[in-house]
């Protein structure tokens, strides 16, 4: 059986290499590729995706898994080998339901859609993107139908990013979360607003870039295995444990945008760099799920990067970088400013108290599209109506509304809810970390993040995809995903800032 296990790993390594090559082409498309390359890039990605898919769902792979199924009984159930066979079996059963031709065509459609989205966003022209999005929505419905019967048409899409999670479960969590967040936002709205005008000045782009890199270096991001580039919409991508790259965007007139984008993507990348090298070139060599991934990025961005102890260490250094802008702004004022709660149009720049409402809006629109209760042509109007209902704002144009996110152009339906789930998990993990490292706050105040990183490496990062998301959260934090700790965190933090 050992020989068959090694053959399984060999075949998985080939698939991983093909997928990483496709990821490299995708990274290039979003960073350096000239617009004229979109058609050819779509064909290249389609070919690679199709080959990888065919190799993974081959009869030989199926026979290996069948032969190895009984072998798992002889293994430690938590061993890398037992978990690998289990996860590959699940993925195999799913992917054999999806034709290779569909995989290739979906890659081509998404590649073309990305270029169309960038152009539409730049020119505030939803009509230019609409036919591409209509095709993506149609194919997402087709994908879901490969898994019929299902409890809900959205379930197969959600399962791609959050294995085992059901649409009904997410809706239940959001139903519990939304009224409590609305109540908090309304209470804050009755208080005097904090001043963040000092964040809206001219901040030299290169200095912003360098400071962001300095911070994530201190966090533990390994530049010998990564790099940072610019992109229209920030993202993290990996081509193996030894090559994990991030992107950001800089607003020369708003400090928060580039800084917290870099911290957020740095959190994602540190996770990928921490996956055990023993899992390299296997199905386990990636994050457990997108909610777990987001727990890491939101932890570094918010629980750490927007905390008072963090800025006790870093703020004097930031003042040295921008003395004319921040030299006369004290730490208390700066801390309150970067944590200002105010409904806003752009999700990636939303504060912690309003962020989840952006996600709920998108989830509802995606479900309506999949249920055929909403047509793509009506999406801008539906978007604006929900923005007004949820946040009291109406986007002045589609660039700041329905076109702001890259996800739909990439076919990532089922993805958005994982952002909010990640927020919940981040606080559960944060509480567990503080229980095990009682002096963590003091360490952060001194700019020492080594104990934090070591805990995350041991309890989250090294495991890669070995454990199901809920199982991993329970192992690390003692319970499955629970909104209560997150609400307590928000109420405590913003109750103090706004004197509630």
Task: Give the whole-angstrom CA distance, residue 63 versus residue 141.
Answer: 30
Catalytic residue among 81, 105, 118, 265: 265
The two beta strands, 228-230 and 244-248, are parallel
Q: What is the largest CA-CA distance in the chain?
A: 69
Q: Is 265 a catalytic residue?
A: yes
By the 8 A CB rule, do 253 and 200 touch?
A: yes
Q: Contact, 461 vs 277, CB < 8 A? A: no
How far is residue 232 from each of residues 119, 296, 419, 439, measured CA to CA in Å? Answer: 11, 22, 19, 39
CA distances from 283 to 14, 86, 231, 270 (A): 11, 10, 27, 19
**How many Å apart are CA 1 and CA 92, to the nearest integer?**
19
Contact criterion met (CB below 8 Å) for 267 and 296: yes
424/427 Cα distance (integer angstroms): 6
Q: CA-CA distances (angstroms) from residue 27 to 72, 114, 229, 244, 344?
A: 37, 12, 10, 11, 29
What amino acid positions are annotated as catalytic residues? 265
């Amino acid at each position: 059986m050992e020989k068959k296990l090694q053959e399984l790993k060999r075949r998985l390594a080939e698939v991983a290499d093909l997928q990483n090559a496709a990821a490299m082409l995708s990274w290039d498309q979003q960073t350096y590729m000239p617009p004229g390359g979109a058609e050819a890039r779509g064909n290249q990605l389609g070919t690679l995706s199709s080959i990888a898919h065919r190799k993974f769902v081959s009869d030989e792979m199926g026979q290996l898994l069948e032969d190895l199924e009984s072998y798992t009984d002889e293994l430690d159930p938590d061993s890398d080998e037992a978990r690998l066979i289990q996860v590959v079996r699940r993925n195999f059963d799913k992917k054999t339901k999806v034709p290779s031709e569909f995989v290739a065509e979906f890659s081509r459609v998404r590649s073309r859609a990305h270029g169309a989205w960038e152009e539409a966003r730049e020119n505030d022209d939803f009509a230019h993107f609409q036919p591409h999005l209509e095709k993506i929505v149609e194919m997402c419905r087709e994908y879901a139908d490969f898994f019929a019967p299902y409890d809900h048409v959205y379930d197969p899409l959600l399962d791609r990013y959050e294995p085992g999670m059901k649409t009904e479960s997410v809706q239940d969590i959001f139903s519990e979360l939304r009224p409590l967040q609305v109540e908090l936002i309304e209470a804050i709205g009755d208080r005097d607003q904090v001043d963040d005008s000092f964040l809206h000045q001219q901040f030299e782009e290169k200095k912003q870039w360098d400071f962001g890199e300095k911070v994530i270096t201190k966090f533990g991001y390994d530049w010998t295995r990564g790099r940072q580039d610019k992109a229209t919409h920030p993202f993290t991508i990996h081509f193996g444990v030894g090559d994990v790259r991030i992107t950001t965007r800089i607003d020369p007139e708003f400090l928060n945008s580039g800084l917290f984008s870099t911290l957020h993507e740095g959190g994602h990348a540190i996770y990928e760099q921490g996956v055990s090298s023993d899992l390299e070139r296997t199905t386990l060599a990636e994050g457990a799920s997108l909610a777990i991934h987001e727990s890491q990025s939101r932890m570094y961005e918010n629980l750490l990067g927007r905390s008072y102890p963090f800025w006790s260490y870093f703020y004097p250094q930031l003042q040295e970088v921008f003395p004319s802008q921040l030299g006369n702004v004290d730490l208390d004022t700066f801390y309150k400013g970067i944590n200002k709660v105010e409904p806003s149009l752009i999700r990636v720049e939303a504060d912690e108290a309003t962020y989840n409402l952006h996600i709920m809006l998108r989830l509802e629109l995606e479900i309506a599209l999949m249920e055929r209760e909403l047509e793509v042509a009506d999406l801008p109007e539906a978007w604006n109506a929900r923005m007004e209902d949820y946040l009291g704002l109406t986007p002045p144009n589609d660039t700041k509304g329905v076109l702001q996110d890259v996800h739909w152009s990439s076919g990532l339906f089922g993805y958005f809810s994982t952002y909010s789930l990640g927020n919940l998990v981040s606080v559960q993990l944060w509480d567990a970390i503080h229980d095990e490292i009682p002096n963590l706050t003091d360490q952060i105040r001194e700019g020492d993040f080594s104990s934090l990183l070591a805990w995350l490496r041991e309890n989250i990062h090294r495991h890669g995809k070995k454990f199901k998301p809920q199982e991993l959260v329970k192992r690390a934090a003692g319970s499955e995903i629970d909104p209560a700790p997150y609400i307590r965190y928000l109420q405590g933090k913003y109750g103090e800032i706004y004197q509630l």
